[in-house]
Structure 1
Amino acid sequence: MKIREARIEDAEKIAIVHVDSWQSTYKGFISESYLSNLSVEKRTKSWLWTFENLNVHEKIFVAEDMPGNIVGFSCGGRSRNDEFDHDGELYAIYLLKDYQRLGLGKKLLNSVTESLKDNGYSSMMLWVLKDNPSVEFYKLQGGQIIGQKEITIGGDSLDELAIGWDRI
């Protein structure tokens, strides 16, 4: 397994992981109709746009298995939130179900953290759905719950937690 910085050519494979992860992780608390309508094609277009419009200090990383298949990704950069004092943000981190609990999540998280530190950021936060089992992972990595808000996904009202690290 290895972690590397993503390239635009990885967009479709990242999209596959993104859709698969949503469908397996959020099953049961995001509507089935919303999850079943997620499209790799639409997600690929979104990732291509993201690669072409990366802001300064924004980085995307991928986790690859031994044959070189992308099995996870993470991305982050400057915080997009004004309500917290954290200057960096983990925008997303997803792994295929079969590759969870192998240490790759921590490596993907650390890749974003190191990139932020290298670019002068000193703290980090993220948003995660309250019912996502990953909340415990973030707490184990030293994150603290710093806020909460309600969001709507596919017509469902869901609670989202802000988790922060005052120092990275």
Structure 2
Amino acid sequence: MKVREACIKDAERIAIVHVDSWKTTYKGIISESYLSSLSVEKRTKNWLWTFKNLNAHEKIFVAEDREGNIIGFSNGGRSRSDEFKHDGELYAIYLLRDYQRLGIGTMLFNSVVESLKDNGYSSMMLWVLRDNPSVTFYKLQGGQTFGQKSISIGGYSLVELAIGWDSI
């Protein structure tokens, strides 16, 4: 397994992981009708746009298996919220279910942390659905819950937690 910085040619494979991860991670949390409406084609377009519009210090990383297949990704950069003291943000981290609990998520997490540190960031935050099983992973990485907000996905109101690291 290896983690590397992603490039635009990875967009479709990232989209496949993104859609698959949502369908497995959020089953029973987000409505089934919303999850079944997710498409790799639409998510690929979103990722192509993201690659073409990366801001300074934003990075996308992918995890590959031994055959070079993308099995996970993470991305992060400057915090998108001025409301909090954290200057960096982990925007997303997703890993196919079969590859979870093997240390790959930690590698993807650390790739974003190191990128943020290399670019002068000293703290980091993320938003995660309260019912996402990954909340435990973030707490094991030393994150502390410091806020929450309500969001709407698929017409349902859900709670997102703000988890932060005052020092990275």
TM-score, reference length from structure 2? 1.00
Deviation at 1:83, TM superposition (A): 1.5
Within a 5 Å distance, the mapping from 1:38-57 to structure 2 comes to 38-57=38-57
Measure, in 1, the Cα distance between the counterparts of 2:149 and 2:79: 17
RMSD between superposed Cα atoms in Å? 0.3
Deviation at 1:110, TM superposition (A): 0.2
Deviation at 1:142, TM superposition (A): 0.3
Q: Which residue of 2 aligns with 1:96?
A: 96
Measure, in 2, the Cα distance between the counterparts of 1:138 and 1:28: 21
Q: Amino acid of the residue matched to residue 27 of structure 2? A: K
Q: Amino acid of the residue matched to residue 112 of structure 2? A: V
Q: Which residue of 2 aligns with 1:157?
A: 157
Measure, in 1, the Cα distance between the counterparts of 2:29 and 2:126: 20
Measure, in 1, the Cα distance between the counterparts of 2:27 and 2:112: 27
Q: Secondary structure at the match of 1:125?
A: strand
Q: Which residue of 1 aligns with 2:8?
A: 8
Measure, in 1, the Cα distance between the counterparts of 2:5 and 2:146: 29
Measure, in 1, the Cα distance between the counterparts of 2:109 and 2:134: 12
Deviation at 1:82, TM superposition (A): 1.6
Residues 1:85 and 2:85 are matched in the alignment: yes
Measure, in 2, the Cα distance between the counterparts of 1:141 and 1:116: 16
Measure, in 1, the Cα distance between the counterparts of 2:29 and 2:140: 23
Q: Which residue of 2 aligns with 1:147?
A: 147
Measure, in 2, the Cα distance between the counterparts of 1:105 and 1:156: 28
Give CA deviations for 1:79-122 in whole Å, capped at 9, x if unaligned. 00121100000000000000000000000000000000000000
Measure, in 1, the Cα distance between the counterparts of 2:131 and 2:15: 23
Q: Percent identity?
A: 81
Q: Secondary structure at the match of 1:71?
A: strand
Q: Which residue of 2 aligns with 1:116?
A: 116
Deviation at 1:148, TM superposition (A): 0.4
Within a 5 Å distance, the mapping from 1:53-72 to structure 2 comes to 53-72=53-72
Deviation at 1:45, TM superposition (A): 0.3
Deviation at 1:159, TM superposition (A): 0.5
Measure, in 2, the Cα distance between the counterparts of 1:29 and 1:94: 16
Q: Secondary structure at the match of 2:89?
A: strand
Q: Which runs of 4+ in 1 moved over 4 A?
A: none
Q: Amino acid of the residue matched to residue 28 of structure 2? A: G
Q: Which residue of 2 aligns with 1:73?
A: 73
Q: Secondary structure at the match of 1:41?
A: helix
Deviation at 1:12, TM superposition (A): 0.1
Q: Amino acid of the residue matched to residue 163 of structure 1? A: I
| Structure 1 alignment gaps of length 5 or more | none
Deviation at 1:29, TM superposition (A): 1.2
Q: Secondary structure at the match of 2:132?
A: coil
Count how many residue pairs are aligned between Structure 1 and Structure 2.
168
